[in-house]
Amino acid sequence: MATPYTRRNFLKTSSVMAVSAAGGLLTVGCGGGDSGSDELLPLVNPYYTQAVHGPYERISIGRLELAEGGVLPNCELAVATFGTLNADKSNAILIPTWYSGTSKIMEQVYVGPDHALDPSKYFIVIVNQIGNGLSTSPHNIGGALGGPNFPKVRISDDVRAQHRLLTEHFGIRSLALVVGGSMGAQQTYEWAVRYPDMVKRAAPLAGTACNTEHDFLFTKTLKDALSSDPGFDAGRYDLPEDVAAGLGRHAKMWTVMGWSTEFFRLNRHRALGFDSLRAFVDGFMIPYFAPMDPNNLLAMAWKWQRGDVSLLTGGDKAAALGRIKAKVFVMPFSTDMFFPPSDCLAEQVLIPNSAFRPITTVDGHLGLFGTDADAIAQVDLNLRELLALPA
């Protein structure tokens, strides 16, 4: 394996060489302009690759103007599809991704012939959210928008980008279902509110339409764990390893809030193959986050904090949720510590044609990972019922 070039290596070498190449792994554009103190070359990160998360296709949807005022001049979405679009294009299902996740885990846990999301019946499109490392992201965009200079992206920007992808690239005008967990649920809600005629059914798992203040602060503590690491260096680190301490603290905080007190009391972590909580943290949680790019995580976290469908209706949450025409099953996970059922129920009652379908599990929010087969079976049962409802 070639020694990975890093951003600072590039900057150092680019000061004496006009063009460089990263062992064939990257095509590096010329920054031009001044000596590039704000120009960051893309980082090579072997985690965000076809080898780890493929197959996926990167599809450009062109220039994307962002809600906060920034621009992605060439927004590329990494997309994985399963099944075949039928003749009348009525069998499309969209799955957006969650914080730190990619299309791969959605495929592995939720898609297949044994699941409600069956590629023999549906054309399933999993779109990686902007900033997740496969789609256009802080670590891979390079140039003036690279790293910590990546523009602020909103949930609504992802949904508008996905809308363009589906309509212009795939010619899809109707979605049989939008389903996603956590930040995927935030995008699911945004879809149902923003494009009510297009979304026939929606299934937000373990997520809310309008993020709560409590969740906002939890996410802030996650961000602080990363940005407070001296190795983070205001986002101009070389490699995720430079921010290992911060990523480790971030992983521990995820362990505390991501599962549940019951999960650990019932020794579910032992059932997953770890002798102790320490082994679980060291062997699963820390390694899970360790290869991820901190600026990518921070871009997603900023977006997560501000998920809010009511931005479309002047802050009126009831008006926003009242726009929804889809049949909606609201599916919190019963032991979720930051998207708790109570917060989801408070929204569900504002949605016409909706039902509250909590998933019973002790695995907390991260039951989304598929650690509790019974929870996924409950999700499938609900999705089959939802999909059987007339559009």
Query: Which residues does residue 59 pair with via DSSP β-bridges, in sequence order?
Result: 77
CA–chain centroid gap for 147, Å, is 18
Q: Is 250 a catalytic residue?
A: no
When asked if residue 228 is in the footprint of a copy of itself (CB under 8 A), the reply is yes
Q: Is 365 a catalytic residue?
A: yes
DSSP string spanning 284-346?
A: IIHHHHTTS-HHHHHHHHHHHHT-BGGGGGTT-HHHHHHT--SEEEEB-BTT-SSS-HHHHHH
What would the two tokens of residue 344 be? 């989801």
Query: Which residues does residue 330 pair with via DSSP β-bridges, in sequence order?
Result: 356
Exactly one of 137, 156, 182, 260 is catalytic; which is it?
Answer: 182
The dihedral through the CA atoms of 290, 78, 103, 334 has a sign that is: positive
Residues 169 and 59 sit within 8 Å (Cβ to Cβ): yes
Q: What minimum distance in Å lies between the beta carbon of 286 and a copy of itself? A: 12
Residues 285 and 255 sit within 8 Å (Cβ to Cβ): yes
Stretch that binds a copy of itself, among 2-10, 15-23, 91-99, 252-260 (CB under 8 A): 252-260
Position 309, amino acid: V
* Nearest partner of 152 among 240, 71, 264, 265, judged by Cα: 71
Q: Is 137 a catalytic residue?
A: no
When asked if residue 346 is in the footprint of a copy of itself (CB under 8 A), the reply is yes
Hey, which residues between 359 and 388 contact a copy of itself (CB under 8 A)? none
When asked if residue 232 is in the footprint of a copy of itself (CB under 8 A), the reply is no
Cα 211 from Cα 306, distance rounded (Å): 6
What would the two tokens of residue 138 be? 């802080």
When asked if residue 220 is in the footprint of a copy of itself (CB under 8 A), the reply is yes
Q: What minimum distance in Å lies between the beta carbon of 262 and a copy of itself? A: 6
When asked if residue 302 is in the footprint of a copy of itself (CB under 8 A), the reply is no
**Residue 143 φ/ψ, nearest 5 degrees:** 75, -155
Place of tokens 């079976």: 377
Exactly one of 238, 293, 336, 343 is catalytic; which is it?
Answer: 336
When asked if residue 234 is in the footprint of a copy of itself (CB under 8 A), the reply is no
Q: What minimum distance in Å lies between the beta carbon of 341 and a copy of itself? A: 10
At 29, is the secondary structure helix, strand, or coil? Answer: coil
Cα 292 from Cα 239, distance rounded (Å): 9
When asked if residue 249 is in the footprint of a copy of itself (CB under 8 A), the reply is yes
Hey, which residues between 281 and 300 contact a copy of itself (CB under 8 A)? 281
Stretch that binds a copy of itself, among 10-18, 98-106, 166-174, 214-222 (CB under 8 A): 214-222
> Which residue, 14 or 208, has its beta carbon nearer to a copy of itself?
208
When asked if residue 185 is in the footprint of a copy of itself (CB under 8 A), the reply is no
Residue from the set 89, 152, 169, 252 that interacts with a copy of itself by CB under 8 A: 252
When asked if residue 276 is in the footprint of a copy of itself (CB under 8 A), the reply is yes
Residue from the set 45, 136, 255, 378 that interacts with a copy of itself by CB under 8 A: 255
Question: Which residues are known to be catalytic?
Answer: 182, 336, 365
Interface with a copy of itself (CB under 8 A)? 212-218, 220-221, 224-225, 228-230, 245-246, 249, 252-253, 255-257, 259-265, 269, 276-277, 281, 337-338, 340, 342-343, 346
